[in-house]
Amino acid sequence: MAAMEKLAGNFFLVGLMGAGKTTVGRALARRTGKTFYDSDQEIEARTGVRVATIFDIEGELRFRNREACVIRDLAQQRDIVLATGGGAVMREENRKVLASHGTVIYLRAAIDDLLARTQHDKNRPLLQIADPRAKLESLFNERDPLYREIADIIIDTTQQNVNLLVARLFDQLLASPHHPKETD
C-alpha cells in the first residue's frame, strides 16, 4: 500500500453564509486527516449561547470581537480546517491572521443557491429580514473583494456535489506549488 499523501498546514474556508464552508470543511478535514473547526460553533461552545442569541443581546460588533478571538486562537493550531463565519473577512486583523497562518479557500456560490440553502435556517441573524435576497446581494458586493484579496484558491460551490467538490479542491491543493506535502 502506498504511503498516504498528506497536505501540510492549515486550511481556512471563507465565503458567504450558505456557500458550504462547514459541509466542505468537514469533508476536507476527513480527506486530509486534519481537525475540523467551525468558528461559529466554537463561539457557541465557549459561550454556551447560540450565535443568533449573541447577536440579539450583544449586537454584531461584540459578536465580531468574539469571532476575532476565536479565529486568532484557532489559527495558532497546526493541521486544522477552519470554516469561518461569512463576515469574518470584514476585519483586517482576521484577514491578516488567516492569510499568514494557512491556505485560504474562498467558497463562492450564486445568490440563488445561497438563498435556497439559507432560507429556512433561523440561525442566520443577518437574514431574518423581509428581503433576504437583497441582503445576500449586498453582503456579496461588500465581501467578495475581501474574500478574493486573501484567497489562495477560489472554488465555485454552485450546484456542486460535496464529494466531487472536495476531490477537485484536494487536487488543486496537491498541485499548488506553495503547499508542502508530507508523506506518512
Structure confidence by residue, pLDDT tens digits, 35-60: 999 999 999 999 999 988 998 899 98
> Binding-site residues for ATP, please?
18-23, 124, 160
> Using CA atoms, how far apart are residues 104 and 14, in angstroms rounded to an integer?
7
Q: What is the pLDDT of residues 63-97, one digit of tens each?
A: 999 999 999 999 999 999 999 999 999 999 999 99
Question: Is 128 a residue whose pLDDT tops 70?
Answer: no
- Higher per-residue confidence, 97 vs 3: 97
Q: What is the pLDDT of residue 130?
A: 67
Q: What is the pLDDT of residue 184?
A: 33
Would you place residue 181 in the very low, low, confident or very high pLDDT band (cuts 50, 70, 90)? very low
Cα angle 43, 156, 154; round to 5: 75
- Higher per-residue confidence, 123 vs 8: 8
> Binding-site residues, please?
18-23, 40, 64, 86, 124, 143, 160
Q: What percent of the chain has pLDDT over 70?
A: 86
> Binding-site residues for substrate, please?
40, 64, 86, 143
Would you place residue 122 in the very low, low, confident or very high pLDDT band (cuts 50, 70, 90)? low
Rounded to 5 degrees, φ, ψ at 159 are 45, 50
Collapsing DSSP to helix, strand or coil, 151 comes out as coil
Q: What is the pLDDT of residue 8?
A: 79
> Using CA atoms, how far apart are residues 22 and 1, in angstroms rounded to an integer?
31
Question: Is 100 a residue whose pLDDT tops 60?
Answer: yes
Q: Who contacts 37 (Cβ-Cβ below 8 Å, separation ≥6)?
A: 74, 80, 81, 82, 83
> Binding-site residues for Mg(2+), please?
22
Q: What is the pLDDT of residue 124?
A: 64
Q: What is the pLDDT of residue 177?
A: 58
Question: Is 163 a residue whose pLDDT tops 60?
Answer: yes
Would you place residue 133 in the very low, low, confident or very high pLDDT band (cuts 50, 70, 90)? confident
